[in-house]
Chain A
Amino acid sequence: MKIVYNGEKDSRAFKDILGTQLQALAEEDPDVIYLDADLMSCIGTAKWAMDSNQGINCGIAEANMAGVAAGLSASGFKPYIHSFGPFASRRCYDQVYLSAGYAGNPITVIGSDPGVCAAFNGGTHMPFEDMALYRAMPGSTVLDIADCNQLISVLKQVKDMDGVKYIRVGRKNCAKIYADGEEVPIGKGVTLREGKDAVVFATGILLHEALQAAETLAKEGIEITVVDMFTVKPLDAACVLQYARETGAVVTAENHNKIGGLYSAVCEVLASGEPVPVEYVAVEDVFGEVGPQDYLQKQFGLTAEHIVEKVKAAVARKK
């Protein structure tokens, strides 16, 4: 896989990708249908979806939207639904769980502005628990997106997959990691950098922080492996076990509560398979708050500096 990471941001924002890719998917496949809860204008879909039979604005009624999507799935469509993360998870969880998951009506749920990406919308709009909720749904796929080209690849892959697929993705620009046109297979961790001292499994916006942390640590003589573990479920257990064995020290990094997300998923694999020291970079069990994203990342301990500290802690715990 071609990696083009140099620390710079992609010129494209995630919302631009969502807008153009959902349109492209709808044009390619007449069974693709996109539903939103009055947030089309926030992800760049309004200009095509408002006037298309394949775009359904459900209004501010997420529970109904999830149910309608499940009904459309039963009718032969491939629905993608979108709202901000908290409303795409907590607000309609029972509807997605039963009407889509339990009933066997596959849908894709896009929860935008995960965690601190909600920034100026503040604590009410800041989901730190969405991955925990969706991980606990049988048969689900949970994806935390780090890069625009990864998003393009993932949006295509989920279209014909069974079960409930949850994509958490920001709306702003993010570091460019993968080369244009790369396919990033769901279910596989992607190794972006290799080092023998420790491994960092990171997702979403924390992947860039992990790669920055690797640079800092290298200057101090600590070489780390960095893996993009964007598929939080089903977790690439073989990858987790392999690097745990090879490095003997594990750190997870995610824009999410430490309960129920990547840290939990990795620990579940390691506890029975390769019990090495594990440290986490994640939100302590607290609610969100308002502010610029860089302030919030510092406030909640989600920066490269925090990863550096946790790597050192994990390395120090090695036998």
Chain B
Amino acid sequence: MDDKTKKELEKLALQIRMGVVEEIKARGFGHIGGSLSICDALAVLYGREMKIDPKNPQWPERDKLVCSKGHAGPAIYSVLAVKGYFPYEEIKTLNQPGTNFPSHCDKKKTIGVDMTTGSLGQGTSLAAGMALGDRLKGRDSRVFVIVGDGESNEGQVWEAFLFAAAKKLSNYVVLLDNNKKQLDGYVKDVLDTGDLAAKMKAFGFDTQAVDGNDIEAMAQALERTRQGGEKPYAIVMDTVKGKGIPDVEQTMANHSMNIDAEQCDKWLADLQKAYAAFGE
């Protein structure tokens, strides 16, 4: 990946983070920690890796994204807004009555959201069905599914992974957001999921473990998932919950936070400054 592309994707990641803060600022609270941890992955996916057409969001041949950790909706809405699926201002209605931008992803409400999620674990099976469907329909499409490390407590996740490997769904790409925290605390203290990369490998996935907040590392890891073959792919992303906003990173209980507008404005100014530093 050349420097120019890298710079563009890093800028996109900052834009996604700014969008997340804008959404949460407008409502006063939201799932900020787990939204921020996946912004770099989303920048590489929507900025480079995925075959998409924002003007034709239902294009059957497109690549699809299932955010199985549905509470990261704010991050998905932000990247979709930046990519032009709908007017940017709309995301500021997050969780307002009658909004098209609910806490958890809903394909019936939000243009560009490929699947409804929210009950943890279910997106893994939905994505497996979508990947199988694309394969049976002869479409050259991949399905990316973002799964939380806390979410991996759910048994359904492992049923789905077993299925994807058994059915040789090489168009099924798991991005495991290993941000080490879940609602009640550290994953290792709540229900230790152990070595996730070893588990994915044991389940029959072509597995890579990378810094999930490093644009270049993520881009390389995703490139590898293009090659097809007989195995589904897993990228275990070492991430920081709340990444990109030091105050959030340093807050222990950062799954969902109450945040006032003044605080958000300060963070937005910092993100804007980082964005401006890239120049044109």
Chain A interface residue count, Cβ-Cβ cutoff 8 angstroms: 29
B128 touching A76 by the CB < 8 A rule?
no
Chain B hits for A76, CB < 8 A: 60, 133, 137
Please tell me if the beta carbons of B137 and A75 are within 8 angstroms of each other in the complex.
yes
A95 & B122 in contact (Cβ 8 Å cutoff): yes
Q: How far does the alpha carbon of A103 sit from the alpha carbon of B128 in the complex, in Å?
A: 16
Chain A 70-85 interface residues, beta-carbon cutoff 8 Å to B:
70-77
User: How far, in angstroms, from A33 to B167 measured CA to CA in the complex?
Assistant: 15
B50-91 interface mask toward A, CB cutoff 8 Å, 1 = contact, 0 = none?
000000000010000000000000000000000000000000
Q: Is the CB of A67 within 8 A of B122?
A: yes
Among the listed B107, B118, B132, which residue makes an inter-chain contact with A72, where contact means beta carbons less than 8 Å apart? B132
Of A2-10, A52-60, A121-129, A139-147, the stretch lying at the interface with chain B is: A52-60
Interface residues of chain A: helix, strand, loop or mixed (majority)? helix
Contact of A59 among B124, B126, B155, B163 (CB under 8 A): B163
CA distance A148 to B132 in the complex (A): 32
CB interface residues, B 83-134, toward A, < 8 Å? 106-108, 115-116, 118-119, 121-122, 124-134
> Which residues on A sit within 8 Å (CB–CB) of B166?
59
- Secondary structure class of chain B's binding surface, majority of residues: helix
A63 within 8 A of B: yes
The reply on B192 being an interface residue by CB < 8 A is no
> B107 contacts A58, CB within 8 Å?
no
Q: B136 — nearest CB in chain A belongs to which residue?
A: A53
Assuming the contacts A58-B163, A68-B163, A75-B129, asked whether A95 and B156 have C-beta atoms less than 8 A apart, the reply is yes
Q: Mark A217-249, 1 if CB is under 8 A from B, else 0.
A: 000000000000000000000000000000000
Known: A76-B137, A98-B119, A104-B116. A70 touches B162 (CB 8 A): no
The docked-state distance in angstroms from the alpha carbon of A103 to that of B122 is 11
> Least Cβ distance of B75 to chain A in Å?
20
Beyond A56-B132, A71-B133, A75-B134, whether A98 also contacts B116 by CB under 8 A is yes
B250 to chain A, nearest CB (A): 34
Q: Which residue of B lies closest to A63 (CB)?
A: B156
Q: Which residues of B contact A133 (CB under 8 A)?
A: none
Residues in B with CB closer than 8 Å to A61 are: 159, 162-163
Closest B residue, CB atoms, query A103: B116
List B contacts of A68 (CB < 8 A). 125-126, 128-129, 132, 160, 163
The answer for the CA separation of A312 and B125 in the assembled complex, in Å, is 51
Which residues of B does A touch, CB under 8 Å? 60, 106-108, 115-116, 118-119, 121-122, 124-134, 136-137, 155-156, 159-160, 162-163, 166-167
Top-7 shortest CB links A-B:
A71-B129, A75-B133, A67-B125, A103-B116, A64-B159, A68-B129, A61-B159
- 6 more contacts with CB within 8 A, not counting A59-B162, A95-B156, are A63-B155, A64-B128, A67-B129, A74-B129, A76-B133, A102-B116
